[in-house]
Amino acid sequence: MAARRLSCLLSRSLSASSAAAAASSSSSGSASLLLSQGRRVNRFSTAAATEELIIPPVQISHTQHLINGQFVDAASGKTFPTYDPRTGEVIAHVAEGDAEDINRAVAAARKAFDEGPWPKMSAYERSRILLRFADLVEKHSEELAALETWNNGKPYEQALHAEIPMLARLFHYYAGWADKIHGLTVPADGKYHIQTLHEPIGVAGQIIPWNFPLLMFAWKVGPALACGNTIVLKTAEQTPLTALYVAKLFQEAGLPPGVLNVVSGDGPTAGAPLASHMDVDKVAFTGSTDTGKIILELAARSNLKPVTLELGGKSPFIICEDADIDHAVELAHFALFFNQGQCCCAGSRTFVHERVYDEFIEKAKARAVKRVVGDPFKKGVEQGPQIDNEQFEKVLRYIRAGIDSDATLECGGGRLGSKGYFIEPTVFSNVKDDMLIAKDEIFGPVQSILKFKDLDEVVRRANATRYGLAAGVFTRNIDTANYFTRALRAGTVWVNCFDVFDAAIPFGGYKMSGIGREKGIYSLNNYLQVKAVVTPLKNPAWL
């Protein structure tokens, strides 16, 4: 979908549908578990009751690793549980990968790259497989959305109407690039013919996070396959199910065995062996800044493989004095609370001009109080649970730190209900730059609102962070907008909008928010080697 369409979908009050997990846990890779219209899950809401929706049954038939075109158990035979964040109950048990599983997956990817048909296949044929996969995503959109919500906790309609269409759009986009990657002829001094070849880099190791499992799968896998590489992808241990589902769809689309391998497991036991593997030619990681440092070090210590990192953020969202306050409140609310606040580029530092600060606070508080929190499978729900108990407790600790530092708690601040990982939408005012809630990436539904006086001051404060992933500006003045877009040190600056994620828009960070760019034409550079070919010209007629 176009950027305008996606932004519209994301900016709505995102809702969800009904149903509950009606499956017991399984310790077998051949588990067949069903999400259907089963028992009700308690709903916790800050607003009116919601109407239930009907979702299609979703069968979990793949909980093993995908290695060399086959779904297989972990080498150790171990499994780990994956949970429903609405209840904290086990959905299924998934194969637990370790160094041996990574070795097997890398060997398969290496053979597929060195000997298999994928890198040698015509770019047009690779494009057709990516297109067939995108079509299968659209065909199975309801099942994918339901599974993403079940394992991640995000509102079902957010997954169905925004994220799954973008997943398909991304693969359509990269399918379009596959047969348009080519080198150049280069003029040079002397009697030489010089050309450049753009070649696939080889075996790509990819590690994706839990907050947008399917979209991060696309951001990594799409450009790598379009360029002709093979892949070993490690899922987030919290959300392995949808990557395994779409890996099966890739098989249906005709992807040769060994081109895409998927291993589930923890970071230290599966992610670290992948990052340090000598037969992996490139690593891409999305996650926390601290883990990104480890990935970079492991890659450097092994074979000095190139690394792209999309890491943490503490994005400023700046409300100027000329803003339409009602519109600004809604946009700032969306910028922070979207996806339960579990968004690396969330507008988590809301800077508001002193002349409109008090009005903004009252309206921001009123909007947060109206936010509907509850079972993400119910219509009208805007916010589901946090991903797991660890993240849930982390967010609550930051809320307590905000209270202890004398920020003003305008609303929220606590748990909702007694089951699952639901947190009240929380708003702090009178936040100072040196408070933890203004410095650290909380990754939860906690809005920190700060006051500023003039443009130079707010730019200085907005840039005074180790992060530089994104920023937002709300103003009616084009000169003010232009000033901010150039002065803010961030990889993306949204003006009078936020979280617009078209497939063609590059995304990545300054400073400790990462290295490199994803999406768009810039992402292709991550998966290509450039080779110069120089040939002498013997008495050409035109010289």
* Identity at 283, one-letter amino acid code: V
How far is 330 from 466, CA to CA, in rounded Å? Answer: 27
What is the edge-to-edge ordering of all strands in the sheet holding 192-200? 185-186, 192-200, 528-536
DSSP per position, 368-423: HHH--BS-TTBTT--B---SSHHHHHHHHHHHHHHHHTT-EEEE--SB-SSSS--B
Three-class DSSP category at 30: coil
Burial tier of 478 (Cβ tally within 10 Å: 0-12, 13-18, 19+): exposed
What crossing angle do the helices spanning 325-337 and 357-370 adopt, rounded to 10°? 50
- Which backbone phi and psi does 332 adopt, to 5 degrees? -65, -35
Q: Residue 125 catalytic?
A: no
Sort residue 380 into left (φ over 0), alpha (ψ -120 to 50) or beta.
Answer: left
- What distance in Å separates the CA atoms of residue 360 and residue 369, rounded to the nearest whole number? 14
> Tokens in use for 257?
């065995």
Which of 96, 157, 163, 310 is the catalytic position?
A: 310
Measured torsion, CA atoms of residues 401, 406, 407, 408, in degrees rounded to the nearest 10? 120
What distance separates the 2 farthest-apart alpha carbons in the chain?
Answer: 84
DSSP per-residue codes, 447-515: EEEEEE-SHHHHHHHHH-SS--SEEEEE-S-HHHHHHHHHHS-SSEEEES------TTS-B--SGGGEE
Distance of alpha carbon 331 from alpha carbon 327, whole angstroms: 6
Integer Cα distance of 163 and 17 in angstroms: 15
The token duo for 359 is 């009005």
Catalogue the active-site residues: 310
